[in-house]
Amino acid sequence: MIAIIPARGGSKGLPNKNMRIFNGRPMIQATIDAAKNSKLVNFVYVSTDDKEISDFSKSCGAESPFLRPKDLSEDDSLVNDTLKYMINKLETEHSKDCSSIVLLQPTSPLRTIEDIDNAITIFKNKNADSVISFVKSDHPISWNKKLHKDGRVSLSENESFSNRQEHDETYYPNGAIYVLKKEMIMAEKFYSQKTYAYLMPRERSVDIDDIFQFKLAEFLAKSQ
């Protein structure tokens, strides 16, 4: 299976975050190393618009044969558009089998080799359309509220007090692993009736987008 790691050069939340030193090495290296050491990943490709990231990725053993267009590297660019672009280039110019791929975002550096292999194994065993990594929510989703501009809390129609134990457990995607059939990507969706979850613990589920998340993830990495 092919692993695709999307890593654009620009980032407003945490500037140059993919190359920021994380636990003694550029953050993207954690994801490259995990993918390269996976038993079920055959090729590791980094998709970037940034030559520094491309050159560094190659030095780590990943492949980055071309830079992606700038219009796929803006703040509002969709990762699915990057995946479609990569699949087209890899199939037509590099004769790669992209019938299924695993998307690994470099902002999840705590994800392990075993996490990748376990998710791919579920994908194969279940003949799934997709397998997505999830983590258990730390509070019931019904506790989330919207706020009015003046600071008032927006209430639902059936607002009532309840204990955590009275609510069903819920889970949310942690951004670490997406194993996808090509058909799902081309249809621009990640979920179907044949989507399965790969559950990960909270200590490996930090998705880094700002300095707080970066410091938290680095603390957890050094604690392991």
User: Which tokens sit at 74?
Assistant: 């803006």
> In the chain, what are the domain boundaries?
2-136+171-223
Q: What is the pLDDT of residue 165?
A: 65
Distance CA 123, CA 210 (A): 31
Q: Quote the CATH superfamily of domain 2-136+171-223.
A: Spore Coat Polysaccharide Biosynthesis Protein SpsA; Chain A (3.90.550.10)
Helix, coil or strand: residue 67: coil
Q: What is the pLDDT of residue 161?
A: 61
Selection from 184, 181, 223 nearest residue 202 by Cα = 223
Separation in Å, CA 67 to CA 12, 26, 47, 72, 133? 20, 19, 7, 10, 28
Q: What is the pLDDT of residue 124?
A: 97
Selection from 194, 190, 195, 176 nearest residue 134 by Cα = 176
User: Which residues, other chains included, contact 130 with Cβ-Cβ below 8 Å and sequence gap of 6+?
Assistant: 123, 178, 179, 180, 181, 184, 190, 191, 192, 194, 195, 196
Selection from 185, 184, 155 nearest residue 82 by Cα = 185
131 in Cβ contact with 122 (< 8 Å): yes
Q: Which residues of the chain are modeled with pLDDT < 70?
A: 157-167
Global pTM value: 0.90
38 in Cβ contact with 117 (< 8 Å): yes
Q: What is the pLDDT of residue 220?
A: 95
Distance CA 22, CA 175 (A): 18
